[in-house]
Amino acid sequence: MDLFDPASPGAEGAFYVVNDVVMGGRSNSRVAVEGKALVFSGTLSLDRGGGFASMRTNLLPTDLHAFSGIELVVRGDGRPYKLHVRDDVRADGVRHQAVFETQAGEVRTLRLPFSSFEPRLRGRRVPHTDPLDRSRIQQLGLLVSDAQAGDFRLELLAIRAYR
């Protein structure tokens, strides 16, 4: 099941960025359509306690309870990234995240089973929290926070739910 098609009209405006500037950091990022890819790129800065950049999109509540996980088709830069899903759209709260690795310049199809997603809040694991309610997924996001300052670039070619 397609969750996001970067080649669709309006794809560029579907995601918004949230960077560490919200807590005083200096990282920057942008989202742009290039060909059939949605490109998430920028510069990660560790200055002033920073160290993350993210992009997010809000969905209409989407029922994924019959699916096993989320499949990404990406071309990366060799850095690790995180995919997060949320079952609400509050500005702050628990996100369920899974880490995935990229290979520089290589297109990869990655399957992230829901069992690999961990509840996180502000970068920290949250024990004793409600499990992800897959029957009402309302937000998807990508995050880079690998404690390595410098440029990053991730091309997103597809996001799908798989059985």
pLDDT of residue 30: 97
149 to each of 25, 72, 109, 156, how far by Cα in Å?
A: 12, 25, 26, 21
Contact 51, 18 (CB under 8 A): no
pLDDT of residue 10: 86
How sure is the predictor about 24, in pLDDT bands with cuts at 50, 70 and 90? very high
Domains and CATH numbers, the chain: 2-162 (2.60.120.430)
Please name the residue that has the structure tokens 């992800």: 132
Average pLDDT, the chain: 95
130 or 67, greater pLDDT = 67
The predicted model scores a pTM of: 0.95
